[in-house]
Structure 1
Amino acid sequence: MRLLCSVFAAAVLALAASAGNAQPQQGTGTAAADMLRVPDWLVGTWTLVRCDNVYPDGHRVELYGPHPQGLWMIDAHGHYMMQMVRAGRAPFAAGDKSKGTPEEYRAASLDSNAHFGSVAVMDKQMRTHIEQASFPNWNGHGGSTGYTLDGNQLTYIVAKPSSGAAEGAHGEVVWQKLD
């Protein structure tokens, strides 16, 4: 259930509609290519504010706890790297990543999410393409979603999250720009 956001994420990302392999471009001189852009307001470093599943009755599930941590870094060409984690994760008792218990591996997987790829904006839609993700089912996938920008806070909805979709939930991800 916690793997929803990256969405990116779902991230912005891992969205229901396929975006193909669209790569963000800056003004290329052709009308079609110029519609797919990385606006200046999107470029920079963002910190995670919230990553929730929201159910039809309005209740929320905080996928990474009440104080999630995460960074989303986007360059001027639309290349991005995103990571989200639950604050206060427990270390592996053995102190060795290769010697975790099944419970430790499960918590490590559910309490973190990372991926990288490309992001752009076209016609008031944020379009993403995930190249590689810590959740391998997202590798090579993309999509688009609407978004709202309120000052330095960006919110987008993941209409069909990887968790909770059968129960009618949607994802809501909120980022705050740092620079």
Structure 2
Amino acid sequence: MTTETEAGPKNWLRERSELGICALLVVLGVLVLTDALRIPTDFAQRGPVGPKAVPILVGSLLLVVAVLLARDVLRGGRGEAEGGEDVDLTEPADWRTVLLLCGAFLANAALIGVVGFPISGAILFWGAAYALGSRAYVRDPLIAAGLSILTFVVFNNLLGVPLPGGPLMEVF
């Protein structure tokens, strides 16, 4: 038989489950900050902002949000349940779509070093379109290839962010 004092802390934590999100935000913030502080200072710097600035800002903001959310939860604040504008909350999750999207992403991650971004990106874009229900078997791969090549050219040639080109590197 349990007493009220034993059930009290359990109920207190259950009613404040958002504190788990706060803990996750603190862990992520500390992880980002420790990784940011390990970035070498001799890293090539372009402009007045170094490579540590954005990760330190993001890590610090994660910690600030965690503290503000914890304060709100401890003062009695609660998140509203999802109303779902166009989502029927009684329907189960569409795991087929989720798994197809994960497969497209994992294929991209596995192939990017082998065949380069233009080809692996096209597979990712086409796979995402297919997973989300598009069945235009001629149009979708063409759009995916064009979008992937455009993304590669913009990042690689215009922004100076090198992406693996694979066999198409000779073309661009």
Q: Per the shorter chain, which TM-score range?
A: under 0.3
Higher relative contact order (CA 8 A, sep 6+): 1
Q: TM-score, normalised by structure 2?
A: 0.18
More strand by share: 1
More helix by share: 2
Task: Name which one, 1 or 2, has greater alpha-carbon Rg.
Answer: 2
